[in-house]
Structure 1
Amino acid sequence: MKEKDEGELKEGEDFYWENGWLVFTEDYHRKRGYCCGSGCRHCPWRGEEKEG
């Protein structure tokens, strides 16, 4: 039985597919721990992004 790698993404928990696009979930963003500034749909830090 294969063990789950720490960096392995789990569909439905970390991401889902929508019209051919991979969409990261809020859980994924929280696990990552920071905002990348790309305006992701489920970013828990959205609105706290620095205005450029």
Structure 2
Amino acid sequence: MKEYIPLEEGDYYYTEEGYRVFTEQYLLKRGYCCESGCRHCPYGYNPKTNTIR
């Protein structure tokens, strides 16, 4: 089971459409790449090639 990481200020924001977008700050705290093509992925995942730099 994945570890629960509590959300803090600066971990996400909402788009105009109402979607929650996680920031690089949160993704680094989480500690791994989910390979979903996150907008602010600090791990360099490329969904077109399915690779992490």
- What TM-score does the superposition give when structure 1 sets the normalisation length? 0.69
Opposite residue 51 of structure 2, the aligned amino acid is K
The aligned counterpart of 1:23 is 21
Q: How much does 1:24 deviate?
A: 0.1
- Identical amino acids, percent of aligned pairs: 51
- RMSD (Å) for aligned C-alpha atoms: 2.3
Q: Give the 3-state SS of the residue equivalent to 2:51 in structure 1.
A: coil
Aligned residue pairs total 45
Q: How much does 1:10 deviate?
A: 2.0
- What TM-score does the superposition give when structure 2 sets the normalisation length? 0.68
Structure 2: gaps (5+ residues) = none
For the pair shown, the structure with the greater C-alpha radius of gyration is: 1
Structure 1: gaps (5+ residues) = 1-5
